């Protein structure tokens, strides 16, 4: 039913100096309709005007969050937010002080980098970027002039809210490129200094000490904290021969790695999807020709290099027998002190020809230490990736699935994510065709910096630590790569089929278990190894639907409604593997031995006996199981290895192994007893429903279903251990899209959620409306065609021109 729209026009005359690539010579004109839940449909004649409309609505929805991040990568965080604050990148787990953050971004996001990104960018990317800046700045001007009362209360009067520049946006693109590489090591790079009288080196950790470290304390040892699930289903996997795609990043619910849904309607481009904040393009999306999604890849995007130094000058290193000077960068940052005064701090940071120098300690142990004889540097393939925006703008303009696949290989600008794609009635495609250092296994063998390569390699399998003083240890070059030093598409994993492919954050190996992908370098991912509980459920859900054994429908294969039911089912796979054994072995005894003695488990057993083995809002008992599995999943010292599974992993049956929980293992019993004790002593009853325990941690106490990946949940809601506030969800299912196409017209039919809603401003009508719909599993339509938009409820309609 159509509602009466709020229709108004916003006009402003402005002179735009300098070169303008827009088709209308400095003019911007965009028509915007917001359908339910604030989804903006932006109609424009060119990419400059599209970017203008996008920048305006994005600032309208998320000004404070984006502005703070742009301030940060400008290297001005300490200047405006103070010395004592910190900066966290939730998507990679890094937290640094404001001061260290400023030194890091000033060192790496240089004017030269910005100029190169600009010079290498396609015209469409430049136009959209320029337009975004103009639209964003327009909204800021209006806010400063007193318009939009009550909006953005947390930042509207802040000194650091003001106009942004195109350079700010190019820095933002760069920050996204290095999310899985350099920016994991902000403090390690910002504090690295050569040894001297005032900076005596520590004794580096031995290989034995490194081997005893907890992998959870080592940056990237367990991969990025972000993840995703995705399926592409071809005609052989559906009941009616259609194709379908499901995409669902598991990203932070806070910060600029939230995703924003928008629809761009241009003369020769019609694209809908989500982009990370500040990116005026669909990074995951669909149109009438194809749909695609991404998951975080296991590949490393960098390598360390160990340098042999001049003992008389620790800022010189040997390279093929000759000495090279490190590049010195003297950087000053301004700092707002507690008394309101401004001070300044200056540091000299160094880089080799590979990249920045760094020092790394883990749990107080010096792992990469700058001594008079050795030092460590990092080469980051994505710091050299100036094709990122081109990749997505070209994809947004592609006219077929074949063109989409060809662009994946030819541009090769995807920084750190796997891709699946399909199109109407077409087959399915998977590719980890991403920016990966060209370091084949043979190079690691001949060039590995021992003993560190072996020792640290046990914690970070696949990561090269190479000898930096030999040119023979430089990254290799492939003829089909767009730039030197990275693998070309021929040496990267990919697969095309007619039934299905998936990825749920394990490596490429079992994208479809019927056709394993093998033979690729270890830096890209592992093969023949156990998959995570989430990945196993990810594959089982498809296999069971295709053979009809899931009990959902007598007819094998997916329908669109069945796909939507499966992906929000909230099943806990480890309960399938272990709950019956727990109930049969521990529960008849009434007690289990925990860390602090015997624990009465009778009441917990009664609850678990009636648990539906899911984490839906009305599910009762899931928090007991989650805390049990959290305890049992803790890595043990090598001399206390738990025999958790009676049936070990087999590469011949990787979807179903390991299995058979060993409830006679004392560590498993202790984990269960301790979980029951901790829940009993918490603020939540043993029989509390999940909807009372697990709620949004960002936009109101809205109940959230789902669970954690480590317990075998496909539907992700992540918060950490059970606390006084239960499970406040700050990470997990984020942008969700389910897409298929009408078999007759070819028109896309898409539904989904932005789980945390479109806006971060509590005063916005779009602050938590979609979160409420998500909580109720009420799928939101993504109207795409003119007919679909006309049949939708339009909440706002306005024209922007300048």
Catalytic residues: 228
d(CA 237, CA 244): 9
Structure tokens at 222: 């367990």
d(CA 124, CA 47): 6
Length of the chain counted residue by residue: 802
Structure tokens at 5: 């729209």
d(CA 545, CA 238): 10
d(CA 645, CA 347): 52
Going from the C-alpha of 197 to that of each of 85, 142, 311, 367, 740, the distances in angstroms are 30, 55, 14, 21, 66
Closest CA to 182 of 118, 96, 124: 96
- In DSSP terms, 265 is beta-bridged to 43, 270
d(CA 465, CA 367): 12
Peptide bond into 658 cis (omega under 30): yes
Burial tier of 116 (Cβ tally within 10 Å: 0-12, 13-18, 19+): middle
Q: Which residues contact 104 (CB under 8 A, 6 or more apart)?
A: 96, 183, 186, 187, 189, 190
Residue with tokens 């796909």, as numbered in its chain: 563
CB atoms within 10 A of CB 731: 24
Q: For residue 662, report the phi and psi dihedrals to the nearest 5 degrees.
A: -90, 85
Closest CA to 535 of 250, 738, 731: 250
Contact present, 359 and 369 (Cβ < 8 Å): yes
Contact present, 283 and 294 (Cβ < 8 Å): yes
Contact present, 222 and 462 (Cβ < 8 Å): no
d(CA 482, CA 173): 19
Q: Which residues contact 302 (CB under 8 A, 6 or more apart)?
A: 181, 182, 378, 379, 380, 381, 382, 437
Residue 659 belongs to what H/E stretch? strand 659-661
């Amino acid at each position: 039913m159509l509602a009466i729209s709020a229709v108004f026009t916003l006009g402003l005359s402005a002179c735009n100096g300098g070169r303008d690539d827009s088709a209308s010579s400095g003019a911007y004109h965009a028509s915007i309709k917001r359908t339910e839940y604030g989804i903006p449909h932006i109609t424009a004649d060119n990419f400059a005007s599209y970017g203008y409309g996008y920048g305006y609505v994005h600032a309208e929805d998320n000004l404070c969050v984006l502005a703070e991040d742009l301030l940060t990568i400008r290297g001005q965080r300490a200047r405006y937010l103070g010395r004592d604050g910190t900066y966290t990148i939730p998507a990679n787990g890094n937290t640094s002080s404001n001061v260290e953050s400023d030194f890091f971004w000033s060192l790496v996001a240089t004017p030269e980098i910005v100029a190169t990104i600009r010079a290498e960018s396609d015209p469409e990317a430049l136009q959209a970027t320029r337009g975004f800046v103009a639209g964003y700045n327009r909204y800021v001007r209006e806010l400063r002039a007193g318009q939009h009362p009550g909006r953005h209360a947390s930042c509207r009067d802040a000194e650091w809210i003001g106009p942004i520049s195109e350079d700010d946006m190019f820095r933002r693109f760069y920050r996204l490129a290095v999310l899985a590489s350099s920016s994991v090591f902000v403090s390690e790079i910002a504090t690295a200094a050569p040894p001297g009288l005032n900076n005596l080196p520590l004794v580096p950790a031995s290989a034995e000490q490194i081997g005893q470290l907890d992998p959870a304390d080592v940056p990237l040892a367990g991969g990025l904290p972000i993840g995703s699930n995705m399926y592409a289903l071809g005609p052989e996997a559906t009941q009616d021969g259609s194709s379908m795609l499901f995409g669902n990043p598991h990203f932070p619910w806070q910060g600029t790695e939230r995703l924003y849904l928008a629809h761009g309607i241009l003369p020769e481009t019609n694209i809908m999807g989500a982009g990370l904040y500040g990116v005026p393009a669909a990074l995951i999306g669909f149109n009438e020709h194809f749909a695609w999604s991404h998951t975080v890849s296991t590949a490393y995007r960098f390598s360390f290099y160990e340098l042999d130094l001049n003992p008389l000058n620790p800022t010189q290193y040997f390279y093929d027998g000759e000495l090279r000077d490190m590049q010195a960068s003297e950087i000053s940052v301004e700092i707002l002190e507690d008394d309101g005064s401004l001070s300044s701090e200056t540091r000299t940071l160094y880089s080799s020809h590979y990249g920045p120098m760094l020092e790394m300690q883990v749990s107080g142990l010096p792992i990469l230490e700058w001594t008079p004889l050795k030092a460590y540097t990092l080469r980051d393939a994505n710091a050299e990736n100036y094709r990122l925006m081109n990749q997505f703008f070209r994809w947004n303009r592609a006219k077929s699935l074949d063109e989409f696949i060809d662009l994946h290989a030819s541009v090769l600008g995807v920084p750190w994510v796997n891709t699946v794609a399909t199109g109407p009635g077409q087959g399915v495609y998977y590719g980890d065709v991403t920016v990966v250092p060209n370091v084949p296994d043979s190079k690691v063998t001949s060039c590995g910096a021992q003993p560190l390569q072996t020792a640290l390699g046990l914690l970070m399998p696949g990561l090269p630590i190479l000898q930096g003083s030999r040119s023979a240890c430089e990254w290799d070059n492939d003829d089909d790569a767009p730039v030197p030093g990275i693998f070309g598409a021929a040496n990267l994993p990919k697969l095309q089929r007619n039934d299905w492919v998936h990825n749920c954050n394990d490596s490429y190996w079992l994208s479809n278990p019927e056709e394993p992908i093998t033979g690729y370098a270890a830096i890209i991912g592992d093969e023949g190894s156990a998959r995570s509980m989430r990945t196993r459920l990810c594959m089982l859900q498809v296999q069971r639907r295709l053979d009809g054994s899931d009990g959902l429908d007598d007819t094998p294969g997916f329908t669109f409604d069945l796909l939507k039911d499966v992906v929000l089912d909230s099943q806990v796979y480890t309960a399938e593997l272990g709950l019956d054994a727990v109930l049969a072995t521990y529960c008849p005894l009434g007690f289990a031995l925990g860390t602090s003695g015997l624990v009465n488990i009778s009441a917990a057993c009664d609850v678990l006996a009636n648990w539906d083995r899911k984490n839906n809002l009305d599910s009762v008992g899931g928090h007991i199981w989650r805390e049990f599995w959290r305890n049992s999943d803790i890595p043990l010292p090598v001399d206390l290895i738990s025999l958790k599974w009676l049936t070990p992993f087999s590469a011949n049956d990787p979807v179903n192994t390991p299995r058979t929980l060993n409830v006679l293992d004392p560590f498993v019993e202790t984990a269960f007893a301790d979980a029951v004790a901790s829940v009993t002593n918490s603020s939540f009853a043993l029989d509390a429903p999940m909807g009372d325990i697990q709620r949004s941690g960002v936009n109101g106490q809205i109940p959230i279903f789902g669970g954690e990946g480590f317990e075998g949940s496909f539907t992700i809601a992540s918060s950490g251990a059970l606390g006084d506030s239960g499970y406040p969800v700050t990470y997990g299912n984020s942008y969700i899209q389910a897409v298929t196409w009408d078999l007759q017209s070819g028109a896309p039919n898409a539904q989904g959620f932005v789980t945390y809603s479109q806006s971060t401003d509590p005063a916005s009508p779009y602050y938590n409306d979609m979160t409420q719909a998500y909580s109720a599993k009420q799928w939101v339509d993504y109207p795409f065609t003119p007919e679909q938009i006309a049949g939708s409820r339009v909440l706002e309609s306005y024209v922007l021109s300048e």
